[in-house]
Structure 1
Amino acid sequence: MYKWIITLALAALPVVAQAQSTRLQSLETTHAGREWLAVGRLDVDGTGFCTGALIAPDLVLTAAHCLYDKRTKQRIDPTRIEFLAGWRRGAASAYRPVRRAVEHPDYRFDGDVSADRVRNDVALLQLQQPIRNTTVIPFETGKQPRTGESVGVVSYAHDRAEAPSLQRLCPVMARQQGVLVMSCDVDFGSSGAPVFSFDGDHPRIVSVVSAKAEVEGARVALGSSLGETLVLLKAGLDNPAPAAPGALPRVNRSTPGGTGTVSGAKFVKP
C-alpha cells in the first residue's frame, strides 16, 4: 500500500465545495458490485497494492507511483504486477498479469511532492491477455470535471483490501494546474482509483487518485489530470522501442502554472 500524505493550506474555496459528501458504500456483495467489476486491485510485487480500472479489455488505468518501490525508488518490473478485476473476499472476476506499463513522460518519482508530481501521476498498464468476460465491462473516459461538480470514487484501501467501496458523491473543491482537489474519502491503497463523473447515462472516468491530503484538518483526495495524457500513454504502448523502459518520448507542450502550489497551497513532503 502506497502512503502519500500531503498537507495543504488552500486559499478560499467555493461555497459549493462545502456540500456534504455521501458516505462510503461497500461493494462486497455480488449485487452491489456488479456495475463496478472493471475496477480491480493491483497487487504489486508482493509488497502492497493499488487500485486500477479497465478502460479497454487489455488496458488498466492507475497512478504512476504504483509502479515504483518506495524504498529503493526504482521502477518495479511490470510483469510482477497482477490485476484482480472485481476482487471481493478472496476471488476475482478475472486475473491478469501485466505485460508492460508506461507512465506520463513528465512524471518523476524521486522529486519533490508538488503540483507537477500529482498532475503527472498517471500510468497505463497493458495486460498479458485481454479480459473478455462479458460481466467485466471497461469504462469510458470523459472530460475533466469543473469546480463544484460532484464526482465519485471506487477504491480499495488498507481497511477495505478485500472488497472495494463506492463514494458516489464528493464535490470537486478546486481545480488548478491540472490537479483536482476533491472531498473524497480515500486512504492507503486507494492510489490509482478511478474518479467518475455521473453526468450522462453511465459513469465515465475523469481522473485517478494520486494522493490523500488534508485541508484545515479535513481529509481530501488529490486527482491527476487525464487530458492529453491518455493519448500520450496509448502512443507509448504502441511504440515498439521507447527511449527508456516505461518512458514516453518527451514532447514540446505548455503546462499550466508552476511546480510549487495548488490554490496557493504548499506541498509538504511526507
Structure 2
Amino acid sequence: MQIHTLILLSLTVIFAACGKPAEKDVSLKKERISPEQMSLIIDSQNITCGDQEFCPEGVARMFAINFEDVNTSSTCSAFLIAPDLVMTNSHCVYGKKLSLAKICSGLYFVFPHNGFSYSAQCSQIIWRDNRQQGRRHYRDGDNDFALIRLDQNIPLQPLKLRRGGLRAGAKVYPVVVDQVGGYTAKITKLECLVEKVMPKYGVVQLSGCPVISGNSGAPVMDEDFNVVGVIFASSDNTIRKPSDEQSLRVRSHTKGFAFSMDHIHKVIGHLL
C-alpha cells in the first residue's frame, strides 16, 4: 500500500511537536490517514539509542494520530511501568472534540530493543487529568500525566518507579525520545540538575536540561535506572524543526519541568 507524499511530509513536520500539533496552518487541507497506512509506518520505524550504556528497556516513541486530519497528529515519549501499561503526559492523550475511544484508537507505541522493536496500541485510557484539557501551557494544579493500557503485553523490563529521588541539587537523567522524522527517532539521555522543587504542585524545575518538542512524557531517572519523575514541559518550546532542535540543543540554557513520582503516587497511586 502506498502512503501519500503529503502524509509523509506532515508526519515529518508535525511529529516534531511536544505532545501537541504545531501551530495551525490555515493553508493545510485536512489529510486523512488510514489505520492500514499507520500500521505500515509503525512497522518501518527505525529507533536508535544515543547511549548504549544508559538505554533502559521500556522507553517508547508514542504516536497520537487523528485519522481524520493527520495535520493535528503529534508524538510524545512514554514508558512501560507494567507489561501492558505505559505512563505519559495528559496533554499527549487529548484530541479536540474527540471521544476517549477515538483518541485511544489513534495511540501507538514503539519500543526499540537490540535493533528490533515491539509495538502496541492503546486499549484503554485508564487515567488522565480532565482539567488539563490538552493546554499548551502548564497551569498550577494541572496533573499532566496519564496511564494507558496496551492491547498486548510487551516482553521488556518495565521501569521501576521510585519516590523520594527528586531533591534540590540531585543529578537526574531524563531519557527522552527525539523525534527525527516520520520513520526515525533517537533515544537520548540528558544529564540535568534539580534546581527547584515545588511540592505544592508536585513540580520540579531542572536546570541545564534542554528538553525539546517530542520529549513530553519521558521518564526522569536516577543513576540506578529508577523513574523519579516525568517530563512535561520546557522553558523554551518554540523550535519546531527537528534539525534545528538538535543543533541548538547543545547551546541551550533551557530548563525542563517534571512531575515528581511522589506527587504522581499521591494522585494515582491506587492505579499503579
Specify the code of the residue in structure 2 equivalent to 1:131: I
Note if 1:147 corresponds to 2:168: yes
Matches within 5 A, 1:169-208: 169-176=191-198, 177-183=201-207, 184-198=209-223, 202-208=224-230
Which deviations, in whole Å up to 9, do the C-alpha atoms of 1:51-90 show, x marking residues without a partner? 0011111111111110013x658755212211101279xx
Segments of 5+ residues of structure 2 without an aligned counterpart are 1-14, 21-46, 237-251
* Contact 2:129–2:145, Cα closer than 8 Å, also in 1: no
Note if 1:213 corresponds to 2:235: yes
Counterparts of 2:49 and 2:257, CA distance in 1:
28
Specify the code of the residue in structure 2 equivalent to 1:114: R
The equivalent residue for 1:126 is 149
Segments of 5+ residues of structure 1 without an aligned counterpart are 6-26, 238-270
* Contact 1:154–1:194, Cα closer than 8 Å, also in 2: yes
Which deviations, in whole Å up to 9, do the C-alpha atoms of 1:183-225 show, x marking residues without a partner? 2221110010110012xxx3111111111115xx831111023
Counterparts of 1:232 and 1:57, CA distance in 2:
22
Query: Offset of 1:93 from its aligned partner?
Result: 2.2
Note if 1:60 corresponds to 2:86: yes
The equivalent residue for 2:259 is 224
Identity among equivalent pairs (%): 23
Structure whose residues are more often helix by fraction: 2
Counterparts of 1:165 and 1:63, CA distance in 2:
18
Counterparts of 2:145 and 2:130, CA distance in 1:
10
SS of residue in 2 equivalent to 1:28: strand
* Contact 2:227–2:261, Cα closer than 8 Å, also in 1: no
Specify which structure has the bigger relative contact order, considering alpha-carbon pairs within 8 angstroms and separated by 6 or more residues: 1
TM-aligned CA distance change 1:31 to 1:227, over 3 Å: closer
Specify the code of the residue in structure 1 equivalent to 2:81: I
TM-aligned CA distance change 1:87 to 1:162, over 3 Å: farther
Query: Offset of 1:165 from its aligned partner?
Result: 0.9
The root-mean-square deviation of aligned C-alpha atoms, in Å, is: 3.1
* Contact 1:82–1:98, Cα closer than 8 Å, also in 2: yes
Counterparts of 1:30 and 1:223, CA distance in 2:
22
Counterparts of 1:61 and 1:50, CA distance in 2:
11
TM-score, normalization by structure 2? 0.64
Counterparts of 1:231 and 1:58, CA distance in 2:
22
* Contact 1:192–1:209, Cα closer than 8 Å, also in 2: yes
TM-score, normalization by structure 1? 0.64
- Match of residue 165, structure 1, among 178, 188, 203: 188
How many residues in Structure 1 have an aligned counterpart in Structure 2? 202
The equivalent residue for 2:64 is 44
